Amino acid sequence: MKNLFVVVFAFLIISLTGCEKQNPNQGEVLKKTGTELAVEYRQSLMGVLVSELQKNGPAGAVNVCADTAQSFTKAFGEKYGVEIKRSSYKFRNSENTPDENDLEALDFFSNLFLTGKLNPDTVFVKDLPGKEFNRYTAIPVMLRNECIVCHGEPADIDPKVRNILSKRYPDDLATGFKAGDFRGIISVKESIK
Ligand code: HEC
């Protein structure tokens, strides 16, 4: 037991000092690329979603999703000094309506998907000359089994969830998806000097 304690303690010291070395300027946010940020955001939002689904089931999670998705996205963008957005042809929240860059990225990924060639690691990048945020990056979001409870065929969505969705999003377009479908994109606009 004592040995185990020593091992754990030594590991702690190593990891703490390791951490210090990697991050000499404490408090400064390390510069990440648009792709890294988009991937990190996709993973963190997924983490929030899965833990809500486990704790509260689809009907509880849908409220949290509806209340947190926008503020989570905004806070993530502010933390890294970028604009980040989720979008889709078939969007649920009109805040996620695609703009012209999003439409280009959606077309790009959708064409690959329809010809069976969409690798989920594919990245769409475009320069936006003259704009403050002059680099646009988008990554695809694929629909997974866990998503069906809120984005599947309406008949397969729990009536309680359907009820909440139709109240909050009367113009909801984001149902009727199957696992494996191309669902939409995450885009990042960053300023490259
Ligand atoms: C518990 C219900 C729920 C589940 C499960 C769920 N979503 Fe959503 N989804 C929502 C809600 C609510 C919104 C609108 C949130 C917002 O942006 O304000 C949304 C929005 C989105 C958007 C943004 C575009 C739009 O339609 O407005 C994408 C992309 C998306 N979901 C993908 C997924 C994927 C992929 C999964 C599975 C990994 C998933 N969702 C699982 C409820 C859910």
Interval 106-129 mean pLDDT:
97
Gyration radius of the chain's alpha carbons: 20
> 88 CB under 6 A from ligand 1?
yes
Interval 89-118 mean pLDDT:
98
In 3D space, the residue among 66, 75, 125 whose CA is nearest the CA of residue 96 turns out to be 66
Model confidence at 114: pLDDT above 60: yes
Residue 108 CA to ligand 1 centre (angstroms): 21
Q: What pLDDT was estimated at residue 9?
A: 39
Residue 23 CA to ligand 1 centre (angstroms): 34
In 3D space, the residue among 63, 77, 97, 88 whose CA is nearest the CA of residue 182 turns out to be 88
> 149 CB under 6 A from ligand 1?
yes
Residue nearest to atom 40 of ligand 1 (CA): 147
Domain ranges of the chain: 32-190
Residue 174 CA to ligand 1 centre (angstroms): 8
Q: What pLDDT was estimated at residue 104?
A: 98
> 65 CB under 6 A from ligand 1?
yes
Residue nearest to atom 41 of ligand 1 (CA): 147
Name the phi and psi angles at 81, rounded to 5.
65, 35
Q: Work out whether strand 135-142 and strand 124-127 pair parallel, antiparallel, or are unpaired.
A: antiparallel
Q: Which atom of ligand 1 is nearest to the CA of 165?
A: 12
Instruction: Work out the number of other CB atoms within 10 angstroms of the CB of residue 29.
Output: 9
> 185 CB under 6 A from ligand 1?
no
Residue nearest to atom 29 of ligand 1 (CA): 184
Model confidence at 162: pLDDT above 60: yes
Q: What pLDDT was estimated at residue 124?
A: 98
What percent of the chain has a predicted confidence (pLDDT) above 70? 84
Please tell me which residue, 2 or 66, carries the higher pLDDT value: 66
pLDDT level of residue 93 (50, 70, 90 thresholds): very high
From first CA to last CA, the distance across the chain in angstroms is: 55
Residue 91 CA to ligand 1 centre (angstroms): 9
Q: What pLDDT was estimated at residue 8?
A: 41
Model confidence at 131: pLDDT above 80: yes
* Residue 46 backbone zone (phi > 0: left; psi -120 to 50: alpha; other: beta): alpha
Interval 176-190 mean pLDDT:
98
Residue nearest to atom 3 of ligand 1 (CA): 150
Mean pLDDT lowest for which of 21-25, 35-39, 173-177?
A: 21-25
